[in-house]
Amino acid sequence: MLNRENARTFNASLKAEITKLTNQKVKVEIVNSYKFPNCYVRVHAESEFNNDFKLMVFDACGYSRKDLLNTDDVSYGNIQSKNIAVKVIQWENLFNKTN
């Protein structure tokens, strides 16, 4: 589970969970950490994220799949092939659904 005690512990717990889920190294960056937990968290992948993971993040954000041009290659706003940036609550939604 993700630890929301402070920005640093959230960063470490998110990194561990994403690494476990995707089997690749990632870098986690909290954007405007002084606003934590109401801030964006950007994750950079070593290689591209697989489409299933991007769809999971897309669904956790509460977006409608009707808005996607191509569900076989998700590229939507802050959800890109090597970078994903969503809010803390959206990362928590993702891992609450997967656990």
DSSP track, 62-90: T--GGG-S-TTS--BTTB-SSEEEEEHHH
Stretch 27-53: mean pLDDT: 94
What is the chain's mean pLDDT, rounded? 93
Has residue 38 got a pLDDT over 90?
yes
Q: Give the whole-number percent of the chain exceeding pLDDT 70.
A: 98
Stretch 30-37: mean pLDDT: 91
Contact indicator for 38, 88 with CB cutoff of 8 Å: yes
pLDDT on residue 99: 65
Q: What's the pLDDT band for 96 if we cut at 50, 70, 90?
A: confident
